[in-house]
């Protein structure tokens, strides 16, 4: 076959192994049941399985794909925000196996077999999560862009505090932790709010903590 005869389809067929597809077993947090991403030429792909908001998802993606981009671009879970894409703002915070992480600074392929919870998966069928309610009641936002990350960070942070994990604001590393406002602020410092809704965010988290949230 002369080079000019090699059309795009031929190449795509012969590169079936590199096909990029997302086969979602039910879209986590969304209505559609299947996502098919057009096969593409390109760099090595890697097979990965995740459980996102309770649903199993299997995909075969370019190894460069971050967890954040899988959630937003391939699973349409756009509640998780991309602020800086460099670990500096916390807008992309999700839970991986129950721990808060910056989804922008980790590759999806590194999470084969892991369980991911996003803001879409935080509420229960019976209603909003106590932190979500507290953010509304306390007006813990203005534009709302940082809010999903703030709430996901806060939910995991309250769990860390319950386990007694210390922070930079903890005076005595071996004493029983008391979750003061200074503790809340320090533990939430990985989440930047460009609107500076900080006082209300702290108040909302304090309410939820006192109500036994998360």
Partner 1 sequence: MRAFSYERAASPAAAAKAVAERPGARFIAGGTNLLDLMKLGIETPTHLVDVNRIGLDAIAPTSDGGLRIGALVRNADLAADPRIRRDYGVLARALLAGASGQLRNRATTAGNLLQRTRCPYFYETAMPCNKRRPGSGCAALEGFSRSNAVLGASDACIATHPSDMAVAMRALDARVETVSPDGSSRTVPIADLHRLPGDEPAQETVLQQGELITAVALPPPIQGLHLYRKVRERASYAFATVSLAAVLVRGRDGQVETGRFAFGGLAHKPWRVEAAEREVARGPAAVSDLVLAGARTTSHNAFKPTLARRLLAAAMAEAAKE
Residues that bind ligand FAD (CB under 6 A): 87-88
Q: Which is nearer to ligand FAD, 25 or 110 (CB)?
A: 110
* Interface region with ligand FES, contact rule CB under 6 A, candidates 5-13, 70-78, 90-98, 204-212: 90-98
Q: Which is nearer to partner 1, 27 or 48 (CB)?
A: 48
* Interface region with ligand FES, contact rule CB under 6 A, candidates 36-44, 71-79, 164-172, 188-196: 188-196
Q: Does 70 bind ligand FES (CB under 6 A)?
A: no
List 55, 142, 185, 198, residue binding partner 1 (CB under 8 A)? 185
Q: Kindly give the residue spans of alpha helices, DSSP state H, lying in 163-197.
A: 181-187
- Report the 10 Å Cβ neighbour count for 91: 27
C-alpha span between 9 and 25 (Å, rounded): 28
Which residues share a beta bridge with 101?
94
Please report how close the Cβ of residue 158 comes to ligand FES at its closest, in angstroms. Answer: 19
Please report how close the Cβ of residue 150 comes to partner 1 at its closest, in angstroms. Answer: 12
DSSP annotation of 175: S
Helix (H) or strand (E) holding 50: strand 45-52
C-beta separation of 111 from 67 below 8 A? yes
The CA-atom distances, in angstroms, between 164 and each of 83, 155, 173, 176, 178 are 30, 15, 10, 7, 9
List 29, 79, 83, 90, residue binding partner 1 (CB under 8 A)? 90
- Residue ranges binding ligand FES (CB under 6 A): 82-85, 87-92, 102, 104, 141-147, 193-195, 197
């Amino acid at each position: 076959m002369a080079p000019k005869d090699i059309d795009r389809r031929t190449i795509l067929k012969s590169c079936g192994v590199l096909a990029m597809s997302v086969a979602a077993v039910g879209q986590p947090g969304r209505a559609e049941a299947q996502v098919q991403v057009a096969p593409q030429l390109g760099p090595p792909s890697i097979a990965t399985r995740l459980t996102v908001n309770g649903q199993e998802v299997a995909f075969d993606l370019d190894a460069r794909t971050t967890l954040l981009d899988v959630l937003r671009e391939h699973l349409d879970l756009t509640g998780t925000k991309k602020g800086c894409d460099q670990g500096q703002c916390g807008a992309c915070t999700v839970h991986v196996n129950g721990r808060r992480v910056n989804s922008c600074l980790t590759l999806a392929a590194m999470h084969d077999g892991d369980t991911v919870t996003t803001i879409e998966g935080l509420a229960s069928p019976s209603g909003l999560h106590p932190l979500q309610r507290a953010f509304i009641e306390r007006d813990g936002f203005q534009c709302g862009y940082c809010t999903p990350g703030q709430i996901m960070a806060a939910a995991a942070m309250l769990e860390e505090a319950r386990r007694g994990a210390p922070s930079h604001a903890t005076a005595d590393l071996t004493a029983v932790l008391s979750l003061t406002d200074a503790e809340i602020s320090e533990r939430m410092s990985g989440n930047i709010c460009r609107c500076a809704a900080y006082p209300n965010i702290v108040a909302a988290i304090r309410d939820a903590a006192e109500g036994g949230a998360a």
